[in-house]
Amino acid sequence: MSAATKLVKLNNGLVIPKLGLGTWQQTDTELLKGLIKDAIKIGYRHIDTATVYKNETAIGEALQEVFADETGAYTNGSGPNGKIVREDIWVTSKLQPRDQGYDNTIAAVNSSLKKLNLNYIDMYLIHWPGVGGCDPQDPKQIEIRKQSWLALEKLVQEKKLRCIGVSNYQIKHLEEMNGYATIKPVINQCEFHPLLFTKDLLDYCGANGIQFQAYSSLGEGNLVNGKHNIEAVEDIAQKLKLSPAQILLAWGLQHNAIVLPKSSSKQRLIANFESQFAEIPEEDMKKIDAVSKSKTVRFCWNPTTVI
């Protein structure tokens, strides 16, 4: 891992970078490969993808090119002469809803391994508590997602996965797992930003040793593009001489969440990376925390509807 990247220890003892590169909606192969290479040069050591993103192959190609590089373009790795090697990069992928179920999960992970061209995936998440094609309130989903988890546990034993976790799980979904999980989820990745400050879920994860991971920290861009800008964030950004995006990312980090900003430019990759070193004063954190009391917006899918 890069010395410049802040780390957090998971409940299984492994450490993961607190800031990663999100890749949702990044389907231009050459653009994405360039962004990944730039990100690694900047210091990113954590890449987040998923089956539904349809970009695992491009990510795998970029990583293999980085690992094979002999020009010294990538440094601060743990290989000879600072070379970046596989162990330096944390890769996360996810099970799409239509692949839920024991056998489907095994097949999906093997497919991701092949596309990523990796011998193991650092972390694999159940992307959604629901099952593709099912009504959100169909009770059979409870057994199906259980079988998905049991399959992931088997893949950990086979060393194809180092860590397993969930995404978009609510407290009820996490408590349900207490009845069957022999491996506790290391992470719960959820939409999290000042207009969706789910403190109860954040606190539950913290109290139960599950690392909270935030996606859509910028509200799918809506918190910085003029559609849903937050006055408190704008004011604090101006005061601290940071961008609103950096404040939003720093806010998530200071709530002990891992953040996964995406970007289509090297300049924003750098700005996002630097947000992990920003410090928002406590009184300003409270101002941002209070925003959701008067306005709540969910920009992505709503897992509260799933039984």
Q: What is the pLDDT of residues 282-293, one digit of tens each?
A: 999 999 999 999
Is 127 annotated among the ligand-binding residues?
Answer: yes
Q: What is the pLDDT of residues 25-56, one digit of tens each?
A: 998 999 999 999 999 999 999 999 999 999 99
Measured CA distances, 1 to 166, 259, 286 (Å): 23, 17, 32
Is-above-0.95 flag for pTM? yes
Report, as residue numbers or ranges, the catalytic residues: 53
Q: What average pLDDT does range 66-81 have in this prediction?
A: 96
| Nearest residue to 170 (alpha-carbon basis) of 294, 49, 298 | 298
Residue 283 corresponds to which tokens in the numbers above?
Answer: 């009184």
Between CA 43 and CA 81 the distance in angstroms is: 16
Do residues 194 and 292 lie in contact, with contact meaning Cβ atoms separated by under 8 Å?
A: yes
| Nearest residue to 115 (alpha-carbon basis) of 172, 71, 53 | 53
The answer, yes or no, to whether residue 100 has pLDDT greater than 90, is yes
Q: Tell me the residue type at 202.
A: L
Do residues 288 and 233 lie in contact, with contact meaning Cβ atoms separated by under 8 Å?
A: yes
Domains of the chain: 7-221 (3.20.20.100)
Q: What average pLDDT does range 250-262 have in this prediction?
A: 98
Give the pLDDT score at 5. Answer: 83
| Nearest residue to 119 (alpha-carbon basis) of 185, 47, 64 | 64
Q: What average pLDDT does range 8-17 have in this prediction?
A: 98
Q: What average pLDDT does range 75-95 have in this prediction?
A: 97
